[in-house]
Amino acid sequence: MATSTMTAISNLVLLFSAVLTTQFHLGSSVASPGSIFILAGQSNMAGRGGVSGGKWDGNVPPECAPNPSILRLNAHLVWEEAHEPLHADIDVGKTCGVGPGMSFANEVLRAKGGVLGLVPCAMGGTSIGQWARGSQLYTQMVRRASESVKAGGTIRALLWYQGESDTVNRADAEAYKANFERLVTALRSDLQNPNLPVIQVALASGEGQFIDIVRKAQLETTLANVKCVDAKGLPLKPDNLHLTTMSEVHLGIKLANVFMA
């Protein structure tokens, strides 16, 4: 057989081998992420930065720019290049804008390199009770998290920003600490990751008058491997509930710094 034919066959074998290493749930030109992060909670995690009157202004700050090394697991469980709004096909029925996820990922990427995977799971207007084990939101989060590691990679942390809906009733606010700790314990068990790091955000705002009770629960959580980033003082939109675009950017960088500390 001619040398040129042998070379062609060898190249074809190498190409076929490369194709086989691409998993079925990866985008056609997307590599598998090595470090994976779950993003969960309610609207300030899903992102409302730049949203007004039901429309997103399309402004993407440089800190949130897409990068081929930052991926997201979309609603169809396919890895694709991440871009704002991260939760557009997850927090459906609402208008999503800039959240903390992209600035977080860009900051981690700048310091650590590699390929990062974001798993958006947040849903606006949800209480922590709606995230309890067995609920639709919890089950979906576990399913998405489990799918995210099928092609390899490791879940490095859960980023959790939730609690605004639990500030309306005193009973909900007072039960927040126990509910959050049950959620973390259940998730670690179901993902078979007993030391899964969790970084939660202490509220900057709330829907009711019991914000301080929920904040106290968040700031005083004593579970191992749970850290807290305080969002208090970050500028809010005119609704006094949602973070502005630049507040989301700064929050994402804060989350990244705590993760890498």
Residue numbers annotated as active site: 43, 239, 242
* Residue in the block written with tokens 């402004």: 59
Is 178 exposed, middle or buried (CB count within 10 Å of its CB: 0-12, 13-18, 19+)? exposed
- Contacts of 254-258 with C-beta under 8 Å, sequence gap 24+, read 254/229, 255/100, 255/104, 255/159, 255/199, 255/201, 255/229, 256/103, 256/104, 256/105, 256/107, 256/108, 256/111, 257/107, 258/199, 258/227, 258/229
